[in-house]
Structures are given as C-alpha cells and as structure tokens.
Amino acid sequence: MDGSRPRQVVVAGGTGLVGRPLVRALVDSGARVTVLTRRPSQTLLPEGATAHAWEDLPAVLDGAAAVINLAGEGIADQRWTTGRKAAIRESRVLATRRLVEGMRDCQKPPTALVNASAIGYYVPRDGAPVDEGAAPGAGFLAEVCQAWEAEAMAASDIGVRVARIRIGVVLARGEGALPKMALPVRFYLGCKLGSGQQGLSWIHLDDLVAMFLEAARNPAWEGPFNGTAPEPVSNEAFTELLARRFRRPLFPVPGAVTAAATRVMLGEMATSLLLQGAFVLPTHAQALGFGYQFPTAASALEDLI
C-alpha cells in the first residue's frame, strides 16, 4: 500500500452489527471508506465515509487497497422457512459473486478481499477442538458457508489476496446475540439448553473489528481464519458466567425439556444455532501474532455487562 495517501477500502454490508464499528475504525485509521448499500441516500455514515449503490460497480472497486464483504441477511433474525433459507443463501453467494465479477472488470483490481464466513462451516463436535484445517460439515449452514467461500476464492484467479473470516457468536453491548442470551438469566429463568455441553465459540465485537482491520492490511492474512476468541466454552459454562454476572440462580431443567421447547419455538434453526456447536480455535490468527483484548468469556462479559 502507498503510505503517502489514504488507502481506499470498500465495505459491503457496512451498516450492520459488525459493519458500523468497522467503518468507524477504518475512518479513524485514515482510510477513505466506500460503503456499498442498496439505499445510499438513506445510509448514515461517519464523516470520511461515502455510500454508493451496488450499481456503481466496478468503478468503486478500481484501485482499492481492500474490499471487506459482510453482506448477507441475518441468520437468526427470523424462523427458517424455505423462503428465508433461500434469502440467507442468495444474499451471501450472489453479493460475493457480484463483487468478484466487478473486480474482474477493474483496470486495477483491489489488492485484497476480506470475506466474511461463519463457523457453521464446521461439523458440530462436542468437546473436541476444531481449527481451520477441519473438514466442512453438512446441512444448510455448512453448505451456505462453502458456497459463500467458493465465490470469494474466485477472486484469487485475478491476483487478489483472499482472507475468509469464519465468524463465531459476536458478543456486543445492547444488540446481537448477547441480550437474547442474557434475558432469561436476568429474569430468573436461566438454564442450560439441551445437554449444555455443546460448544459456544464466541468473539467480542471489538476483537472481531480488529481482526478484519488486520486481515485487510496484512498480506500474511490469506486463506481461512476463525473469527473466534481463543477460549470457546460450553453452553452450560457460558450460562453460568451470565448467572454470576447478574447474581442470579440457574434452574436445573432437564436437557430434554429445554431442547424440545427450543425446537418448538425456533424449528430447524434451534438445532443448528443453539443445540449443536463446536469448540472453534483461532489457530491461524494466533500463529500470525494477533492479540485479543478480550481473550476469555469472563473478560468479555465484564466489559459488556
């Protein structure tokens, strides 16, 4: 990158949970930030960032130092109907394909593509740790992640460095997964879900933003990276940490009861997101010296609650 002028970074999906603080961090670092959005006239951005429509491709990509792709419908926003599952898949796969096609039409393609993915890529494993070398799983989420990453990796054919960040459960203050997980505990209804032994691989929002920044600027970041903290925990252990934080008791509800209730409320989504899990380790990021501000679940909850 040319250090004599601000680098140009394009962010797709820059208005969501991760995108908003990421855009702010990029602007604060001195980057010129372009946010791709379907409604540029209605998008509020910090000074130093500009909104562009997807129709402005490939012009906004030409000469960019990095493209960060976070685009995609929320996984846990609605019950998984057939239509919702199609929207989740297509919003990721088609947006990534459109970005890569835009790069091919650039006179000077971007230097790097940092593409979001998810730890749903892996086979659920209770107890055994999983790193980036683990085989992909089967089922809806795993198939979405594999198709999503395949579209991103196509950019390497035109000389673009591609890093894929497989994001775990993002812990943030006031939004995302944490308030939903904390709510029953706060109101004296906390208990483990199912067996409670399923892995919960999480990451503090600040650390995830830092990870995307590092992947965008550091040429050593290429290939798959687990966007998780180095201390995954079980569902039961995380629930106990919440209970201690709120000074609340937990109820010894049989796992079969909570599993059945969760499936009734959420359908297929319950098994994929809550009743199964894996202990996912960020081996590649740590090998490159990435440091965590919040490496343990206890430190993350102390900051966020």
pLDDT digits (tens, 9 = 90+) for 125-164: 877 899 999 999 999 999 999 999 999 999 999 999 999 9
**How sure is the predictor about 5, in pLDDT bands with cuts at 50, 70 and 90?**
low
What's the sign of the alpha-carbon dihedral 290, 207, 141, 125?
Answer: positive
Whole-number average pLDDT of the chain: 95
Which structural domain range is residue 50 located in?
A: 8-304
Q: Look up the CATH number of the domain holding residue 176.
A: 3.40.50.720
In a domain, 17, yes or no: yes
CA distances from 168 to 34, 199, 207 (A): 26, 11, 12
- Whether 61 is in a domain gets the answer yes
Report how many domains make up the chain.
1
Q: What is the pLDDT of residue 187?
A: 94
pLDDT-derived band of residue 6, with 50, 70 and 90 as boundaries? Answer: low
2 assigned to some structural domain: no
Q: Judge whether 1 lies within some domain.
A: no
Percent of the chain exceeding pLDDT 70 equals: 98
Residue 297: inside a domain, yes or no?
Answer: yes
